[in-house]
Structure 1
Amino acid sequence: MDAESTTGSRAADADLVTAVAAGDQDAFAALYDRYCRQAYSLARRVCVDPEYAEEAVQEAFLAFWREPGRFDPDRGGFAGWLLTLVHHRSVDVVRRQAVHRKRNLLGGDEITAQALPAEPGADEKAMSRVVGGLVRKALGQLSADQRQVIALAYLGGYTQTEVSSITGLPLGTVKSRTFAGMKHLRSLLSTLSGGRRHENWMEVQ
């Protein structure tokens, strides 16, 4: 996507957001249709479970509908802002479900639970959840600007060029924020995990 088309897309989004703020449901539907796939793709990477991902996307769009004024066009494009919101909601959904599972386990039949056969790959899945939890916790400690570009690249799977198009930021800015954010993220992960290295978890294209 070239600079001219990116600027045009951002302007079109801004017009739709203004219409949404005035209560225009058609404008809201247009933005939903435009970004729901990207939003779901990002949410699925965070939540893994498709139902949780759908819940996170619905919560994000509902939050936007209720408070469209939270979007500040001076800080970047609507797509980047929305996907950052989707990321936050996805993390919230994962946390809620973890609490729910823990309560069910504590309130359930311990003998029955112990008698259930172990799910294939359970150890690997448990480790994956731990790793994902550490990454999400570390991401939450980054600055908002760094967190946005890294969440899109690491969790959303977008290239830096695509992140530039989505956020409306110059490619150089995306690269510098990614570099600084990844350096900080590695330091945070090293602290959170007792010094183990995690570069392979954070490959940015």
Structure 2
Amino acid sequence: MSSAEDKRSDAALMAAIAAGEQSAYAALVSRHSMRFFRLAYRLTGRHEDAEDVVQEAFIQLWRAPHMWDPAHGSLFTTWFYQVVSNRALSLRRQAARHPQEALGDIVDSQCGAEETLNAKHRRLWLEGRIRALPERQKLALVLCFYEELSNHEAAEVMGIGIKALQSLLMRAKTTLREDINSFDELKAGGRG
């Protein structure tokens, strides 16, 4: 059976990985790599960084599959969201300590505020504003709206209660709403 056709549950694949079965590892990577790449990309904002984050997380999984313990009650995907999120946010913190490397990203994310932007530019601008949110707000927003996790799942990934998650989401949405209103005012002011 090819890894793409492996119908075993994630828990069964993890047990096989713990026993050293490479085909189980390949099946798990094949099954989930795009999901976790999307998460890493939303958190890092860079294709290359997202690839590195996911690759390193899967390597960590191969080397230490025992780190996920199904006895704790969380699904494999919930646990791996935590692994990937932590790696992505750690990478962002490293980039913040070396601002020269990230300068191009900042300029790109804020380009064209004075010109009329098409939908693609507006989307890129909004993605830049999301990346600029505080880490915990950004993670809550990405998990709930982009990864479409339930509030319960997102709270579990983040290791917080549902009320705390809802508070983070509220603050993130308020900040984004204010940014969008400022953007729209700036854009409208440029026309007159």
- Establish whether TM, by shorter chain, passes 0.5: yes
Give the Cα–Cα distance (whole angstroms) in 1 for the partners of residues 143 and 42 of structure 2.
10
**TM-score, normalization: structure 1?**
0.58
Match of 2:120 in 1: none
Q: Is 1:77 aligned to 2:108, yes or no? A: no
47, 57, 63: which one aligns with 2:60:
63
87, 90, 94: which one aligns with 2:88:
90
SS at match of 1:198: helix
| C-alpha contact 1:84 1:151 (8 A) present in aligned 2 | no
**Alpha carbon RMSD of aligned pairs, Å?**
4.0
**TM-score, normalization: structure 2?**
0.61
| C-alpha contact 2:109 2:128 (8 A) present in aligned 1 | no
Q: Is 1:182 aligned to 2:173, yes or no? A: no
Q: Is 1:22 aligned to 2:19, yes or no? A: yes
SS at match of 1:76: coil
Match of 1:143 in 2: none
Q: 1:119 to 1:151 in 2, by over 3 A?
A: closer
Gaps of at least 5 residues in structure 2 are 1-6, 114-123, 179-192
Match of 2:190 in 1: none
Give the Cα–Cα distance (whole angstroms) in 1 for the partners of residues 176 and 125 of structure 2.
19
Q: CA deviation at 1:89?
A: 1.0
| C-alpha contact 1:43 1:57 (8 A) present in aligned 2 | yes
1:79-109 deviation digits (Å, cap 9, x = unpaired): 111122111111112222332344898xxxx
Q: Structure 1: which amino acid aligns with 2:175?
A: H
Q: 1:127 to 1:158 in 2, by over 3 A?
A: closer
| C-alpha contact 2:41 2:50 (8 A) present in aligned 1 | yes
SS at match of 2:20: coil
Give the Cα–Cα distance (whole angstroms) in 2 for the partners of residues 120 and 179 of structure 1.
31
Q: Structure 2: which amino acid aligns with 1:21?
A: A
Match of 1:121 in 2: 110
Trace 1:142-157 onto structure 2 (pairs within 5 A). 152-154=143-145, 156-157=146-147
Give the Cα–Cα distance (whole angstroms) in 1 for the partners of residues 137 and 165 of structure 2.
10
Q: CA deviation at 1:33?
A: 0.3
Corresponding pairs, count? 155
